[in-house]
Amino acid sequence: MEIIRKVLAENKKWAEKTVAEKPDFFTDLAKLQTPEILWIGCSDSRVPADKITGTQPGEIFVHRNIANLVIHTDVNLLSVLDYAVRQLHVKHIVVCGHYGCGGVGAALSNHNFDLVLNMWIRQIKDVYSLYKDELENITNPAQKTDRLVELNVIEQVKHLAKTSIVQRAWAHESLPHLHGWVYGLKDGIINPIFEMHPGDAIDPLYVYDDI
């Protein structure tokens, strides 16, 4: 229980320090949430969206899961996406992975993680399958993992563009812009690797013609 007491104590210190520096901070924050960015990141505790971007509470709307996946049957992700796009009218959606991702590393193994985790990392294995020729030419294990991290981010951005939520917003608001980023744990730098913008072409099979 010591870690819980420590976290609560640090929260109290932070709140007191914040009020001392900006007396109206929490009053103003409670009134309005107008983030321009939806962040879809990895659950890894080393990749907190606000810390690595230097943003303040209220500036980024955040969803996190293992290996920053966008799965078309994930109601949790889709509810966040729908709210961010249709209610908050975010201008940008960022899918941010990170080099050295444990979820991606697990997908490269043949280990049985049982039940839910097997189903989850199956999505990453499917990305590997798409780029199998490229990935199997990489002999260094760390480099292979990091390249799959990048390719996974690219595919998740493409998955966003395939949703009716994003396509409707593209058609009626010319927003949001989609970004694929990878964060470096070793240097703290974000590497932008992929973008999609309203009107960009996607596979016609996934295009809705009545939105």
42 has catalytic annotation: yes
Active-site residue identified among 101, 146, 147, 179: 101
64 has catalytic annotation: no
98 has catalytic annotation: yes
Q: What is the C-alpha radius of gyration for the chain, rounded to an integer number of angstroms?
A: 19
Q: How much is the pTM?
A: 0.93
How far apart CA 27 and CA 19 sit, in angstroms, is 10
Helix (H) / strand (E) element for 180: namely strand 177-183
96-126 burial, b if ≥16 CB within 10 A, otherwise e? bbbbbbebbbbbbeeeeeeeeeeebbebbee
44 has catalytic annotation: yes
Active-site residue identified among 28, 46, 111, 197: 46
122 has catalytic annotation: no
Active-site residue identified among 63, 64, 98, 159: 98
From first to last of its 211 residues, what are the pLDDT tens digits of the chain?
A: 899 999 999 999 999 999 999 999 898 888 777 899 999 999 999 999 999 999 988 899 999 999 999 999 999 999 999 999 999 999 999 999 999 999 999 999 999 999 899 999 999 999 999 999 999 999 999 999 999 999 999 999 999 999 999 999 999 999 999 999 999 999 999 999 999 999 999 999 999 999 9
